[in-house]
């Protein structure tokens, strides 16, 4: 697992954050990976790339991230926004790819600082801090959370082959 603080230069990060928090960026209601249906299980997402195809007119706006990661093949790319909850809710351990055909990686770019986090099955916790990027083997179980100290928690999730 690798964690990078100040992953993008300030201007590139600001442009991406402003885009995703603007009133003209479309978000879509979906469920979270939670297997416990009694828990808060909704988020809003925007899928930019899936099934070997660009899925959003905003795909090219994230080019500074792509240049920094330098993947061999992108598998999936989506932005997730989870609204503030009264208590932090962990959504359930999961794998982004179950038994992939080759070694795959997951990357998470945190767009805002809040008290939410990503928790891994090995016990490591990565706090949600603006412009931080974490990269890890997609076969490492992990879970995201809500937050309680900001209106929302936004991350961009990347799955790729290096």
Using one digit for the tens of pLDDT, what is the confidence trace for 30-68?
776 555 555 666 789 999 999 999 999 999 999 999 999
Tell me the pTM: 0.93
* Pairing relationship of beta strands 53-54 and 73-83 according to DSSP bridges: unpaired
Q: In this predicted model, what pLDDT tens digit does every residue of 121-155 receive, in sequence order?
A: 999 999 999 999 999 999 999 999 999 999 999 99
Sheet bearing 142-143, strands edge to edge: 125-127, 117-120, 142-143
157/66 Cα distance (integer angstroms): 12
Q: Is 129 helix (H, G, I), strand (E, B) or coil?
A: coil
Residue 38 has what DSSP assignment?
A: T
Dihedral angle sign, alpha carbons of residues 136, 149, 152, 9: negative
Closest Cα to residue 83, out of 146, 17, 21, 19? 146
When comparing pLDDT for 67 and 96, which is higher?
67
2/48 Cα distance (integer angstroms): 24
- Output the pLDDT for position 146: 93
Owner of token pair 């795959």: 104
List domains and CATH numbers for the chain: 2-161 (2.60.120.620)
* Pairing relationship of beta strands 117-120 and 42-50 according to DSSP bridges: unpaired
CB 105 within 8 A of CB 95: no
| φ and ψ at residue 16, rounded to 5 degrees | -70, -45
If you average pLDDT over every residue of the chain, what do you get?
92
């Amino acid at each position: 697992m690798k964690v990078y603080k100040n992953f993008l230069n300030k201007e590139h990060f600001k442009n991406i954050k402003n885009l995703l928090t603007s009133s003209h960026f479309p978000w879509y209601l979906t469920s979270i990976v939670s297997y416990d249906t009694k828990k808060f299980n909704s988020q809003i997402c925007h899928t930019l790339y899936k099934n070997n195809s660009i899925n959003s007119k905003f795909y090219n706006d994230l080019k500074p991230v792509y240049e920094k990661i330098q993947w061999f093949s992108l598998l999936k790319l989506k932005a997730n926004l989870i609204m503030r909850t009264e208590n932090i809710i962990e959504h359930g351990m999961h794998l982004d790819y179950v038994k992939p055909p080759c070694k795959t990686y997951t990357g998470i770019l945190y767009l805002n600082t809040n008290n939410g986090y990503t928790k891994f099955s090995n016990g490591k916790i990565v706090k949600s801090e603006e412009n931080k990027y974490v990269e890890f083997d997609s076969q490492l179980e992990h879970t995201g959370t809500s937050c309680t100290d900001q209106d929302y928690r936004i991350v961009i999730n990347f799955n790729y082959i290096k």
